[in-house]
Amino acid sequence: MIKPHGSDVLNPLFVRDEKQRNVLIKEAELLPSVMISSAAAANAVMLGSGYFNPLPGYMNLEDALQVAENMQTSGGLFWPVPILNLLDSAEGLSESGRLALRDPNVEGNPVLAIQEIDAIETMTENQKTRITEKVFGTLDPEHPGVGAFLSQGRVVVSGPIQVLNFSYFKADFGETFRTAYQIRQKIETAGWEKVVAFQTRNPMHRAHEELCKMAKEAVGADGILIHMLLGKLKAGDIPADVRDASIRKMVELYFPPNTVLITGYGFDMLYAGPREAVLHAIFRQNCGCTHLIVGRDHAGVGSYYGPFDAQKIFRDQVPPGALGIDIFEADHTAWSKKLNRVVMMNSVSDHSKEDWVFLSGTKVREMLSNGESLPEEFSRPEVAEILGQYYRSLAGA
C-alpha cells in the first residue's frame, strides 16, 4: 500500500486507548479551556483522523507563513495550507502549559482535544493578509473561505494535540464518517493495490458517475474511494445527509458490487481552489489512495479560479517527489447527444454547444423545487428523486 505523506506509518492523533482517553478527559476538567473556532475544530478532527499526517498539531506562525509562501514548513515538510488554532485573545494562557480545546459545534461544548502550548504569537494584520492572499488567491471577503479565515482571531496558539473525540461527525454520520486509518484498513482488507479517489461536496450526477468509472479504467484501479466532505459548507449547498443518501443509491444501482468505498471526512470546506486541491491529494494519500481525480473547478467557488488551475498547480508548483499520490486530470464531462453517452469534452472535437446536455446548478435546483424531472442524460432518476424530495421540503417549509 502507498505510504502516508511524510512518514512510513500513519500517526492519527486520536487517543485510541480508552483508558488513557478517560484519564485525559478527567484531566481536561482541571485545565484552562478555550472555545475554538469551527475551522480549528475541523483541523483537530482531521489531525485526529490521520488525514493531516505527519503534522503533530497546530502550526506556529513561522510555519504558517512559510507554508503560505512556499508550500513547505520551516522544517522542509511539503504542505499547502496553514493548519492553525487562531484565537481572539491570549488572556489566561501561558506558554508551556496545557490547554483544553472546547468544541463550538456540539451542544455543551465538550472538550475536543488537549493541546500542549509550544508558543503563543500574535499575527499582524499584514501577515494575515499575506496568508489569505497566498492561500486563497484573493482578499475578497465575499469569498466564503476568505470570509471564514478573516473572521478568526490573530492569536496563533501552536503545539501538539491529543484528540479525544470526532466532534459531531461520528454521531451524525455514523455510516459514512471514517478516519484515514479506517480507510487504509478497508483498502488493505479488500486487497486493493490501486485506488482512485473522488472528492465531492455535491451530489453525484451521471457525469460524476462516469468520470469515476473512466478514471478507474484508465489507471487500472482495483477500487474507487468516493470521499465526501461532511463539514460546514457555504449557504445554498446541499446538506451532507442528502448527498450521502443520493450517492449511496447511485452506487448501489449503477456500480459493480465491491468496487466502491463510500466514506466521508470531517472538515469545513475552504473553497481554496488549487491550494485545497493539493491538500485533498495529501489526505487521500494518507487514506492509502494511489490516484486523485482533479477535474474542472476542483475545490473552487464562483469565478475566483481558472477552470483548470487546480490541475496546473500540480504541474507547476508541486516539487517532483513531494507527493506519493498521482493526479488523474479530468476535463469537464457531459452527455453527448451525438454519441449517446457521457464523455470528457476534450476527447471529442466535432461537437457544438447544441450537442451537449447542460444544466446549470440554478436550473437544477429550480426544476427539483418545482417537482420537475431532470433529464436522464443528466441525472439518474433515483438520485433525482432523493434530491427532489429535499428541495420540495424546502419549498414547503
For 18-167, CATH number out of 3.30.200.20, 3.40.50.620, 3.30.565.10, 3.10.400.10 equals 3.10.400.10
70 is known as an active-site residue = no
Q: Give the chain's residues under pLDDT 70.
A: 359-362, 396-397
Residues 254 and 224: beta-carbon distance below 8 Å: no
348, 368 Cβ separation under 8 angstroms: no
* Cell 451532507 sits on residue: 240
In whole angstroms, give the CA distance from residue 69 to residue 74.
11
CB atoms within 10 A of CB 238: 17
> How high is the mean pLDDT of the chain?
94
- Please state, for a pLDDT cut of 90, what percent of the chain lies above it: 82
Q: For 82-95, what is the HEC assignment?
A: CCCCEECCCCCCCC
At 96 the pLDDT is 79
In the chain, CATH 3.10.400.10 covers 18-167
Question: Between the CA of residue 50 and those of 3, 6, 184, what are the distances in Å?
Answer: 13, 12, 10
For 177-265+271-396, the fitting CATH number among 3.40.50.620, 2.40.110.10, 3.40.50.10440, 3.40.50.300 is: 3.40.50.620
Per-residue confidence (pLDDT) for residue 353, from 0 to 100: 87
Exactly one of 70, 202, 248, 296 is catalytic; which is it?
202
> Residue 290's pLDDT is what?
98
* Nearest-10 Cα torsion for 344, 226, 315, 353: 20
3-state secondary structure of 349: coil
Confidence (pLDDT) at 139: 98
User: 360 Cβ partners below 8 Å, 6+ apart?
Assistant: none
Reported pTM: 0.95
Q: Do residues 161 and 115 lie in contact, with contact meaning Cβ atoms separated by under 8 Å?
A: yes
For residue 89, which phi and psi values (nearest 5 degrees)? -150, 150
87-126 residue pLDDT tens: 999 988 888 799 999 999 999 999 999 999 999 999 999 9
How many CB atoms sit inside 10 A of residue 370's CB?
Answer: 11
Backbone angles phi, psi at 201, to 5 degrees: -120, 5
The question of whether 22 is a catalytic residue gets the answer no
State residue 94's pLDDT score: 84
Which pLDDT score is estimated for 259? 97
The answer to whether the CB of 208 falls within 8 A of the CB of 335 is no
CB 161 within 8 A of CB 13: yes
Amino acid at 6: G
Alpha helices (H) in the chain, listed in sequence order: 18-28, 38-49, 61-70, 125-136, 144-151, 169-172, 180-190, 206-219, 240-254, 274-287, 309-316, 361-369, 381-396
Active-site residue identified among 201, 248, 296, 365: 201
Start-end ranges of CATH 3.40.50.620 in the chain? 177-265+271-396
**pLDDT per residue over 179-224, tens digit each?**
999 999 999 999 999 999 999 988 899 989 999 999 999 999 999 9
For residues 338 and 354, what is the distance between their CA atoms, to the nearest angstrom? 10
**In sequence order, what DSSP letters do the residues of 171-206 get, joined into one string?**
HH-TTTB--HHHHHHHHHHHT-S-EEEEEESS---H
pLDDT value, residue 387:
92
